[in-house]
Chains A and B, each alone.
Chain A
């Protein structure tokens, strides 16, 4: 049984509507199913933004990589990229840009070009930005970023046809440009809210119609209270995405964070005047457990490599949790971009905040090399997200 689901129709749910020694009526359980569906399907949390502050420069290929912990309840990923042209180069002809997407799972199975699983415009097709008349009087931003490509990835098909397994996937985006007069303005992605419930598919909600008045309630993986319980559990185990940053995978200090010092310190591009603990990213932790100084369980990992020396590197994340800081082991020197193992972390949930009950916390990323011999530790990406079991 499938039923349409309209995201954003969360309803008031009384915890005292049903009482002992009083009959549970259909509308009680249907309301529960609708609330469970809203919790599980309306806000799949993963998203990605790669913005043009680190754009391509000249005729070159630039690559970014980001971690995608696929939400159990996400059916599709929406993707879009925009190209951009400087205003004084709008009359250039013959410019080209091509974007290639690869999706890889934790054991290295990939869906890459050519594949019908990838949307148009993400398969390395050479795109030619249009000519613009010199008397074009539209807004400069509009002119400069008005074209790109948009599409979807179907998670179920990536699994069934593409052979991807698990839920710890990586997106690799490469952009090839013919000239500095055209560059990747931004790439953005988010998991699409569910527009339907389907009792025959795991993690796809609870059709409220299964609780019709006068119909028997049958408990199983597909219906009844067990399905309702599982749907609420799906909502709980969604992994809030607090930080997902990706820099160009290059050894260029102007584009990609790096450090060379022994002893914990900030990466370039993640530092600020007079502060040695790095730029704090403020986050609003999702609160599932009781508020506490240790806080909500999270996990994180980083993409790194070394150049210029033989020393190892280590990366730290600091929050205001009493368990902070959280650190990788010493990461062996490697000249290849490598993801660290998953590291456990926490976000504190009892800080004073303007919006009780949840308070805000901060995430800072720092690092060090084992000795200053000229080794440069590069940071290509950071993912920090919730990990509620």
Chain B
């Protein structure tokens, strides 16, 4: 796989190797084009999906972790208790030149009360579904010494984690027929957590960053 972009004269430039009536050195120029196209198709597949400032001072009601009851606290508002963040619905493609889906990576910073088990879970649901229909999840235990530490959750996406999402985009309410249409494979990502310390625990799950990386 190429590791950097090969600069060449821009299209239309006086030195453009590909301008009209210019003889082609087939091998060299084909190789430059193939190298750059291959690099860019991989580089652009490593896409950032979402960033979120995170949630502070969350606690947990339910033990053990049951996804159907975790999602809302007694007041039904995530910022009034439970760690519950939806990181949105996203599409993914098969990785270029590999019959594999990309790896989904959540990075953040977390803290919890010293000595109190505290964990963060990344949930993936097919299409627009909610966590009761989760397809896969990954949990990480936070380092709990009162200070903030990096944490990561990684999910190797599989076809069963996705659902088709047909799209026929047409701007606004103009009523014009879509000029193009197609189907993407999509999932929705959630971040939830629990802390055994209960209400009043000093917790944090901040600096959330969700992105795609090469299949592992």
Which residues from chain A sit less than 8 Å from chain B, CB to CB? 4, 6-24, 28-29, 32, 35-36, 38-40, 42-43, 45, 47, 49, 51-55, 75-76, 78, 80, 84-89, 115-120, 139-142, 144-145, 151-154, 157-158, 185-186, 188, 190, 192-196, 218-221, 224-230, 232-233, 235-236, 238, 240-245, 247, 257, 269-270, 272-275, 279-284, 286-291, 355, 357-358, 360
**Contact status B5-A236, CB under 8 Å:** yes
Interface residue from A16, A89, A186, A284 paired with B86 (Cβ < 8 Å): A186
Collect the chain B residues with CB atoms within 8 Å of residue A51's CB: 52, 85-87
Nearest CB of A to B73, in Å? 9
Q: Is B131 part of the contact surface with A, judged by Cβ < 8 Å? A: yes
The secondary structure that dominates the B interface is mixed
Q: How far is the CA of A280 from the CA of B107 in the complex (A)?
A: 10
Can you name 4 extra interface pairs (CB under 8 A) apart from A15-B38, A154-B174? A12-B97, A23-B26, A145-B86, A240-B48
The answer to whether A86 and B76 touch (CB under 8 A), given A75-B180, A240-B48, is yes
Nearest CB of A to B91, in Å? 7
**Contact status A274-B77, CB under 8 Å:** no
**Contact status B88-A49, CB under 8 Å:** yes
Q: How far is the CA of A116 from the CA of B174 in the complex (A)?
A: 5
The answer to whether A288 and B39 touch (CB under 8 A), given A42-B93, A139-B71, A355-B214, is yes
**Contact status A282-B207, CB under 8 Å:** yes
Q: Is B89 part of the contact surface with A, judged by Cβ < 8 Å? A: yes
Q: How far is the CA of A229 from the CA of B89 in the complex (A)?
A: 33
The answer to whether A224 and B18 touch (CB under 8 A), given A43-B47, A52-B78, A275-B148, is yes
- Closest residue of chain A to B30 (Cβ to Cβ) is A18
**Contact status A117-B172, CB under 8 Å:** yes
**Contact status A195-B181, CB under 8 Å:** yes
**Contact status A287-B4, CB under 8 Å:** yes
> Sorted from nearest, which 10 A-B pairs have the closest CB atoms?
A154-B171, A8-B93, A86-B76, A10-B96, A20-B27, A18-B30, A225-B18, A282-B107, A195-B182, A39-B40
Q: Is B41 part of the contact surface with A, judged by Cβ < 8 Å? A: yes
Q: Is B139 part of the contact surface with A, judged by Cβ < 8 Å? A: no
Nearest CB of B to A70, in Å? 13
**Contact status A193-B91, CB under 8 Å:** yes
Collect the chain A residues with CB atoms within 8 Å of residue B181's CB: 195
The answer to whether A53 and B55 touch (CB under 8 A), given A10-B96, A157-B174, is yes
The answer to whether A228 and B51 touch (CB under 8 A), given A24-B24, A52-B79, is no
Which residues from chain B sit less than 8 Å from chain A, CB to CB? 2-5, 8, 10-12, 16, 18-20, 22, 24-31, 33-41, 43-56, 68-69, 71-72, 74-79, 85-97, 105, 107-109, 111, 130-132, 146-148, 150, 167, 169-174, 179-182, 184-185, 202, 204, 206-209, 211, 213-214, 216
Collect the chain B residues with CB atoms within 8 Å of residue A244's CB: 51
The answer to whether A86 and B75 touch (CB under 8 A), given A235-B44, A273-B111, is yes
Collect the chain B residues with CB atoms within 8 Å of residue A224's CB: 18
Pick 23 A–B contacts, CB within 8 A, sort by A: A8-B184, A10-B93, A14-B34, A20-B26, A23-B26, A35-B37, A42-B45, A47-B49, A86-B77, A119-B171, A142-B132, A151-B172, A192-B169, A225-B24, A229-B18, A232-B37, A240-B47, A243-B209, A272-B206, A274-B148, A280-B109, A281-B207, A287-B4
Nearest CB of B to A95, in Å? 14
- Closest residue of chain B to A6 (Cβ to Cβ) is B182
Q: How far is the CA of A84 from the CA of B97 in the complex (A)?
A: 41
Q: How far is the CA of A245 from the CA of B53 in the complex (A)?
A: 8
Collect the chain B residues with CB atoms within 8 Å of residue A226's CB: 11-12, 16, 18-19
**Contact status B11-A229, CB under 8 Å:** yes
Collect the chain A residues with CB atoms within 8 Å of residue B97's CB: 10-13
- Closest residue of chain A to B17 (Cβ to Cβ) is A225
**Contact status A117-B182, CB under 8 Å:** no
Q: How far is the CA of A163 from the CA of B131 in the complex (A)?
A: 42
